[in-house]
Amino acid sequence: MSIAKSVVTGTVYRAPEKRFTQNNIAVSAFVLNIDERDEMLIRVISRRQSLEEVVDSLDKGARVLVEGRLQTNVVKMDDGTEKRIYEIDANTIERIGEGGAIASSSSSSSSDDIVKFESDDFANELIGEDEIPF
């Protein structure tokens, strides 16, 4: 379910992973922790070519500002419990501090391709590959 435009700041919790769709479109994703005291994790997805340079420069612990479309979903875990997952389809990603770079894109990309992020740790915390909304 897509909620609305969202702007968040946080720390990169898991470094970006890049995969390609069947149509050879690059899709990058990383996990952002937006709460300094507790873990409040949001998956950030970027399919925009103009953001690749910024996303590729991110490391775990980097501070960033992300603007995009917030999406929520509920997934059933292996133990039967349900977990609410938050994702942002990023339009803009900006590094905070260290003379950070900014990149943005206002073009929308529509693709029905499924991208598989195969890292086991990544899959346990986020939407399963069957649940990815694009």
pTM above threshold 0.85: no
Q: What is the pLDDT of residues 94-111, one digit of tens each?
A: 998 765 444 444 444 444
pLDDT tens for the 134 residues of the chain, in order: 556 889 999 999 998 998 888 888 888 999 999 888 878 889 999 888 878 888 888 999 999 999 999 988 888 889 999 988 889 999 999 998 765 444 444 444 444 444 444 444 444 444 445 544 44
* Residue 118: CA count within 13 A, CB half-sphere: 2
Question: What CA–CA distance (Å, rounded) separates 118 from 128?
Answer: 10
d(CA 132, CA 126): 10
Give the helix/strand (H/E) hosting 97.
none
Q: How far apart are CA 12 and CA 59, in angstroms?
A: 7
Six-digit token pair at 119? 């890292």
C-alpha dihedral (86, 134, 9, 34), degrees to nearest 10: 20
The separation between CA 55 and the C-alpha centre of its own chain, rounded to angstroms, equals 10
Terminal alpha carbon distance of the chain: 11
**Positive or negative CA dihedral for 60, 68, 10, 127?**
negative
